[in-house]
Amino acid sequence: MIWSTIRALLPLLLGGLVEVWAVDPKRMELSFGRALFERYGRYSDDPKGGMVDLLEAAAEDMNARAERFAGHTRSFTPSREFPFRVIVVDELAFLTAYCPERDLRKRAESALAVLTSQGRSVGYCVIGAQQDARKEVNNLRNLFPDRIALRLDEDDQVDMVLGDGARDRGALADQISSVPEVGAGVGFVRLETSPDPVRVRAAYVSDADIRAMLALGLPDLDNKGAA
């Protein structure tokens, strides 16, 4: 699901109109395409806060952009000077619940709350992926207006992820096949603008596909770097 989204954004990445900032706690899923990301943070880069530093930098930049736009415009149009920034956080629950250091959890939650509550109007979007559907794992769930449920273990988890009544409206995420050829990439999407879930299937992005994306190269922007 994550790589399918990044691949769809590739033309805009190449044009400099979109940037992806990636947080990769488990170091396996996103590191393969690290060169595609404007900024990249993983646990082993700095276990004392490298990933959290990236989130805080994003929140800081977002606030600076809002200050720049205040009084001049009420709508956002991406440009090379002000690209649309997508903050991708794999294993979100690690930062909000499982990280062993309480201070880092609090800092991560604070930065994510700022980004998800204020970022849309100035061109910031957060994509968070987590495996645990329980609310106590992610207190910021209500700040993610659009949600996707992949295969879930139990029927009551569907409403935990997509909202009350989602399963009754047809989001049978607990019945998605565990056979990869049948169920991989299948999920149900509930958008902010509609309570009715839609069944979707993300395209499979292979290692070869990611290598092909990397081979295209990205613009040499001044602030390219890792967190």
Domain that holds residue 154: 145-218
Answer yes or no: do 65 and 130 share one domain.
yes
Four-residue CA torsion sign, 7, 9, 15, 18: negative
Answer yes or no: do 97 and 181 share one domain.
no
pLDDT for 152 beyond 60? yes
Residue 140 lies in a domain: no
pLDDT for 130 beyond 50? yes
Q: What is the average pLDDT score of the chain? A: 90
Answer yes or no: do 94 and 7 share one domain.
yes
Answer yes or no: do 107 and 167 share one domain.
no
Answer yes or no: do 150 and 208 share one domain.
yes
Answer yes or no: do 149 and 130 share one domain.
no
Confirm if 173 and 161 have CB atoms less than 8 A apart. Answer: yes
Residue 107 lies in a domain: yes
Answer yes or no: do 181 and 128 share one domain.
no
Answer yes or no: do 92 and 2 share one domain.
yes
Q: What percent of the chain has pLDDT over 90?
A: 73
Confirm if 20 and 36 have CB atoms less than 8 A apart. Answer: yes
Residue 31 lies in a domain: yes
Residue 58 lies in a domain: yes
Residue 181 lies in a domain: yes
Nearest Cα to Cα of residue 97 among 108, 89, 105 = 105
Answer yes or no: do 93 and 200 share one domain.
no
Answer yes or no: do 67 and 42 share one domain.
yes
Report the C-alpha gap between 136 and 113 in whole angstroms: 15
Q: pLDDT of 195-209, one tens digit each?
A: 899 999 999 999 999
Domain boundary among the residues 105, 135, 165 is at 135
Distance, C-alpha 160 to centroid of its chain: 19
The confidence score (pLDDT) of residue 29 equals 86
Confirm if 185 and 201 have CB atoms less than 8 A apart. Answer: yes
Over residues 88-97, the mean pLDDT reads 91
Domain boundary among the residues 107, 135, 163 is at 135
SS3 labels along the chain: CHHHHHHHHHHHHHCCCEEEEEEECCCCCCHHHHHHCCEEEEHHHCCCCHHHHHHHHHHHHHHHHHHHHCCCCCCCCCCCCCCEEEEEECCHHHHHHHCCCHHHHHHHHHHHHHHHHHCHHHCEEEEECCCCCCHHHCCCHHHCCCEEECCCCCCHHHHHHHCCCCCCCCCCHHHCCCCHHHHCCEEEEECCCCCCCEEEECCCCCHHHHHHHHHHCCCCCCCCCCC
- How many domains does one find in the chain? 2
Answer yes or no: do 35 and 83 share one domain.
yes
